[in-house]
Structure 1
Amino acid sequence: SHIRQAVDAGARRIGHGVDLPYEDDADGLLQRMRRQQVAVEINLTSNDVILGVKGPAHPLAMYLRAGVPVVLSTDDAGVSRADMTHEYQRAMQEQGIDYPTLKQLARNGLTYSFLPGTSLWDADGNAAQACATALQRETDDAACRAFRQGSEKARLQWQLETDLVQYER
């Protein structure tokens, strides 16, 4: 009921979210989270070390199957001694997350962040109209530059996309 209470209270991000399987009508809650674009922070190392939840017992796959926005995070890097690289590695090795999903998790980290400004992406994952052509062609243009100029979030998202293109070449 903790997750549902947070969603009922208007939370836009849920921390941990490991109690999902114990929620009343978990499937209904997942669908609501998807519709309302309520992101869940997944802290694989912390969930393992502090809560003992890992591997197939972790609800990450449930969130992904339901289309709930998921964000990987470290929670308390000083205690768990884990950085984001470790979390992505763990997502791949322990949870079987593939590269396209890892890419989406990285995008979600910025989309659902508390950075100011309009997102480069809409709730369906489509690019903002001002940048759609530039992203498709992997080139920059004046319209997209103007859009990004007014949004710290969009600037960082653009940088991530640029980095991903470079990495994938």
Structure 2
Amino acid sequence: MTDLSQFIGGLPKAELHLHIEGSLEPELMFALAQRNHVAIPYASVEEVRAAYDFSNLQDFLDIYYAGADVLRKRQDFHDLAMAYFTRAAADGVVHAEIMFDPQTHTDRGIAFEEVIEGLLSGMRLAETELGLTSSLILSFLRHLSEEAAFETLRAAGPWLDRITAVGLDSSEVGHPPEKFARVFAAARAQGLKITAHAGEEGPPAYVHEALDLLGVDRIDHGNRALEDPALIERLVAEGMTLTVCPLSNHKLCVVDDMADHPLDRMLALGLKVTVNSDDPAYFGGYVADNYRAVAKARGLSRNDLVTLARNSFTGSFLPPEAVAAHLERLDAYAGG
């Protein structure tokens, strides 16, 4: 595995499923709490890490939202972004499409402008200093109302030229994609790409809704599509990208053991799957850790890994010329 591990580390790749708030490491949480004079219910970094012992999506979300409370100012969001980009660049990531949850912050009284301008400044610095390009996905919180999502889309108006896509995340069960069909139609009408979490804890029917009612350009997670043969055929035929997150799936008990992860089956079926880290501070690994974990557990070959990296570029929202340049770099690395 050592040679394969090194190969993974240098493999040029894009990350398409990353919640920037989910990259808040305990050390940075403590630093920001001190800087912003925010009380947190943990006495040490170790206590925070111990609290990360959750076994389902809702328990994770509870601590995720509590941790986000230390994010108050533009500089905090800049620092959060740069901490992620530094780790991602070390993992061979050359392009990242990062999701952010403005409602997590605006509901606490933080101005939309503070959130997005902090992230944008971090993105600019990452491109200058690390050579890592990025784009923003504005994610709606699905446990909130349709009207709250519309309000967030309106608030994003002055920055729409710097937002690439809209997404849908948070508690999946009981909040089907159908709930937000009109919001996504409005977003598409304004030129934004569409993605949505579907088929993680929710049923295959949610994947169908994301395709038919939201008109998604890609699916986040999508694991439970494997329960529906006709849906598998459709996803393959349409070349729909699935942004799979192996360590997240294990941590949230979507799979009981990494040895049971279906990633290689998904590849064999012809699904256009990618590997991503989701919320790496909480799930125990950044993108290269996810590649290594699933490669070891499922015996992936170098060709499989190159296919996953290739899918990450062709499944991105980058323009064709940028995709072609990344694929050329990938081919040179794989053939070297």
**In the alignment, which residue of structure 1 is the partner of 2:273?**
70
**Pairwise mapping of residues 132-151 of structure 1 onto structure 2 (< 5 A)?**
151=321
SS at match of 1:19: helix
Contact conserved, 2:258 with 2:294, CA < 8 A, in 1?
A: no
Match for residue 8 of structure 1 among 199, 212, 222 = 212
Shift of 1:20: 2.6
Residues 76/59 of structure 1: CA separation in 2 closer, same or farther (3 Å cut): same
Contact conserved, 2:220 with 2:244, CA < 8 A, in 1?
A: yes
Q: Highest relative contact order (Cα 8 Å, sep 6+), 1 or 2? A: 2
- In 2, the alpha carbon distance for the partners of 1:162 and 1:21 equals 33
Higher strand proportion, which one?
2
**In the alignment, which residue of structure 2 is the partner of 1:162?**
332
Match for residue 108 of structure 1 among 300, 308, 311 = 311
- In 2, the alpha carbon distance for the partners of 1:62 and 1:8 equals 25
**CA-to-aligned-CA distance 1:60-102 (integer Å, 9 cap, x gap):** 2442222010111111122223122211111211122222111
**In the alignment, which residue of structure 1 is the partner of 2:245?**
43
- In 1, the alpha carbon distance for the partners of 2:316 and 2:323 equals 8
Give the letter aligned to residue 163 of structure 1.
Y
**In the alignment, which residue of structure 2 is the partner of 1:152?**
322
Shift of 1:18: 2.5
Shift of 1:57: 4.1
- In 2, the alpha carbon distance for the partners of 1:52 and 1:45 equals 10
Q: CA RMSD in A?
A: 1.8
Contact conserved, 1:43 with 1:87, CA < 8 A, in 2?
A: yes
Contact conserved, 2:261 with 2:294, CA < 8 A, in 1?
A: no
**Aligned residue pair count:** 130
Give the letter aligned to residue 262 of structure 2.
P
Shift of 1:156: 1.6
Shift of 1:114: 1.2
Give the letter aligned to residue 38 of structure 1.
M
Shift of 1:108: 0.6
1:30 aligns with 2:235: no
**In the alignment, which residue of structure 1 is the partner of 2:126?**
none
Contact conserved, 2:272 with 2:311, CA < 8 A, in 1?
A: yes
Identity of aligned residues (%): 26
* TM-score, length of structure 2 as denominator length: 0.36
- In 1, the alpha carbon distance for the partners of 2:274 and 2:231 equals 18
SS at match of 1:102: helix
* TM-score, length of structure 1 as denominator length: 0.69
> Which stretch of the first structure deviates more once superposed, 29-38 or 52-61?
52-61
Contact conserved, 2:277 with 2:285, CA < 8 A, in 1?
A: yes
Gaps of 5+ in 2: 1-204
Give the letter aligned to residue 235 of structure 2.
M
**In the alignment, which residue of structure 1 is the partner of 2:282?**
79
